[in-house]
């Protein structure tokens, strides 16, 4: 079982200005069905999990130490 987490950084919050902060890192919540349609699920600024199109984010490849620090935060 892999504990590898996925993280993205917001690069476009158009039409979601209250929900997404540009340059903020978000942890991706696994959702295979959403990913098939180029969406990801994250917990946004409302505190709820929502789907957003992947074109609003860049996926990050982080060293294990940074990934662990983000998960622990």
Condensed to tens digits (0 to 9), the pLDDT of residues 24-46 reads 999 999 999 999 999 999 999 99
pLDDT at 30: 95
Average pLDDT over residues 49-59: 97
DSSP letter (8 states) at residue 24? -
Neighbours of 23 (CB within 10 A): 8
Q: Does domain 7-72 have CATH number 2.60.40?
A: no
DSSP letter (8 states) at residue 30? P
Condensed to tens digits (0 to 9), the pLDDT of residues 12-26 reads 999 999 999 999 999
Query: What are residue 7's DSSP bridge partners?
Result: 27, 60
Residue 43: closest CA among 61, 28, 22 = 28
Q: Quick one: CA dihedral 50, 51, 57, 59, positive or negative?
A: positive
pLDDT at 35: 94
* Annotated domain spans of the chain: 7-72
pLDDT at 3: 62
**What is d(CA 20, CA 26) in angstroms, rounded to the nearest whole number?**
9
């Amino acid at each position: 079982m892999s504990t590898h987490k996925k993280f993205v950084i917001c690069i476009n919050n158009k039409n979601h200005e209250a929900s997404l902060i540009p340059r903020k890192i978000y942890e991706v919540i696994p959702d295979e069905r959403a990913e098939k349609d180029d969406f990801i699920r994250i917990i946004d600024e409302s505190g709820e999990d929502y789907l957003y199109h992947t074109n609003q984010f860049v996926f990050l490849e982080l060293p294990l130490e940074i990934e662990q620090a983000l998960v622990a935060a």
